[in-house]
Amino acid sequence: MIKEEIIKQFQISGELKLIKPLPTGNIHRTYVATYDENGKENKYLVQQINNYVFKNPYEVMDNIEGITTHIQNELKRQNDNKHKVLNVIETIDNRNMLVCKNEEGIEEFYRVYNFIENTISYNTTKDPKIVRTAGKAFGNFQKLLNNYSIETLNETIIDFHNTKNRLKTFEKDIKEDYAKRVQSVEKEIRFILDRKDICSMIVDKLESREIPYRVTHNDTKVNNVMFDSSSNDFIAVVDLDTVMRGSGLYDYGDGIRSASANVFEDEKDLDKVYLINELFESYTDGYLSELAPYMNNEEINLMGQSIRIITLELAMRFLNDYINGDKYFKCNYETHNLDRARNQLKLVEDIESKMEYINSYINKNYKKYC
């Protein structure tokens, strides 16, 4: 549990009433702090940044400050009062995060955001309207950042969505077999290695500039969109840690992967794991309704494959972490990462069986918005 002294280092007025852990995400420790300010209840999101994953939290916060300020200005310029952006609450000495040492003398990093009121987020939803809105929210996010100076962004996790590089690491870690688990997952490894050729598809086109670098969110799960709790319109895109430069295709593919899967990514009953076509259509429609005019043909052509590639990438990351002895993702039980990997591989199979339909829907829909 987080200590009160830590939260009190931030510029928050009122009296601290309650701190509750928020069991969300696979990476950071998150808490909600409730304050009372002259009878009004205000909530804040307090997070301990995982500095095993984010080696340089200063650079993470730099990126976040840059893009939240940019979005704030864009919304103002467009007289948009409906949409919002996360707001970084500074420490009492005006820094964007608190750096302190724990009892063992190890550095820890904390940050606080305002809790956006009257909003709701969905861990899973099967409502096509909500899924369409999520697609719209992430398309809009890229649109708002279309003229951002990409070169100012730090690469906070090197080669984060570089599937080609992820494959290299995977092959190296299989050889090393640190946790002596390789033998038990040979079938899963084979499935991935049989698809080596698709790992470089997006990365190569980025490098040759056939598709553009964009400001990308890099974690476009539906639960990273805040919705208005009464109208269900999108209000803001959150979880900005992995905002970097990259291909918008990974964002689109990851959105479909998470928003249109029938079950959550650690469901063990693989018969339940597949893409719901209607939700794929809704998300795609929402996304293209915002971004289609800004996309080039090469990007459109790769949209379908991007769903397959990002799902394979995540399966590879889960399996790689299992092989390494579960160092990266938070696990609730011993085979958690393996179950996640098997689930995502099943999803890859389902996506592959629907590729023709997926591509034809994207093409048809793209024309509607151009």
Q: Which is nearer to ligand GN1, 222 or 314 (CB)?
A: 314
Binding to ligand GN1 by residue 26, rule CB under 6 A?
Answer: yes
Q: Least distance from C-beta 26 to ligand GN1, angstroms?
A: 3
Binding to ligand GN1 by residue 53, rule CB under 6 A?
Answer: yes
* Other C-beta atoms lying within 10 Å of the C-beta of residue 135: 32
CA-angle at 134, arms to 20 and 147, nearest 5°: 105
Closest CA to 215 of 142, 293, 137, 138: 142
Which one among 68, 133, 140, 242 touches ligand GN1, defined by CB under 6 A? 242
Which one among 47, 109, 195, 219 touches Mg ion, defined by CB under 5 A? 219
Q: At what angle do helices 277-291 and 128-144 cross, to 10 degrees?
A: 30
β 225-228/244-246 pair status: unpaired
Q: Which is nearer to ligand GN1, 214 or 257 (CB)?
A: 257
Q: Which is nearer to Mg ion, 256 or 288 (CB)?
A: 256
Q: Which is nearer to ligand GN1, 98 or 331 (CB)?
A: 331
Q: What are phi and psi of 120, to 5 degrees?
A: -140, 150
Cα(340)–Cα(336) distance, integer angstroms: 6
Give the contact letters, 254-283, x = binds to ligand GN1 (CB under 6 A), - = no: -----------x------------------
CA pseudo-torsion sign 258, 85, 95, 39? negative
Q: What are phi and psi of 11, to 5 degrees?
A: -75, 75
Which one among 128, 144, 206, 219 touches ligand GN1, defined by CB under 6 A? 219
Q: Least distance from C-beta 369 to ligand GN1, angstroms?
A: 27
Which one among 7, 12, 27, 189 touches ligand GN1, defined by CB under 6 A? 27
* Other C-beta atoms lying within 10 Å of the C-beta of residue 250: 26
Which one among 2, 25, 164, 182 touches ligand GN1, defined by CB under 6 A? 25
Site for ligand GN1 in 287-326 (CB under 6 A): 314
Binds 26, which of Mg ion, ligand GN1, none (CB < 5 to 8 A, cut-off by type)? ligand GN1
Cα(199)–Cα(162) distance, integer angstroms: 8
Give the contact letters, 108-137, x = binds to ligand GN1 (CB under 6 A), - = no: ------------------------------
**Whether the Cβ atoms of residue 89 and residue 114 lie closer than 8 Å to each other:** yes
Contacts for 77 with CB less than 8 Å, ≥ 6 apart: none
Q: Which is nearer to ligand GN1, 274 or 318 (CB)?
A: 318
Q: What are phi and psi of 177, to 5 degrees?
A: 50, 50
Cα(365)–Cα(359) distance, integer angstroms: 10
Q: Least distance from C-beta 43 to Mg ion, angstroms?
A: 20
Q: Least distance from C-beta 219 to Mg ion, angstroms?
A: 4
Closest CA to 130 of 258, 299, 43: 258
Binding to ligand GN1 by residue 237, rule CB under 6 A?
Answer: no
Q: Is 156 helix (H, G, I), strand (E, B) or coil?
A: coil
**Whether the Cβ atoms of residue 216 and residue 246 lie closer than 8 Å to each other:** yes
Give the contact letters, 222-241, x = binds to Mg ion (CB under 5 A), - = no: -----------------x--
Residues within the interface to ligand GN1 (CB under 6 A): 25-27, 53, 219, 239, 242, 265, 314
- Contact positions toward Mg ion, by CB under 5 A? 219, 239
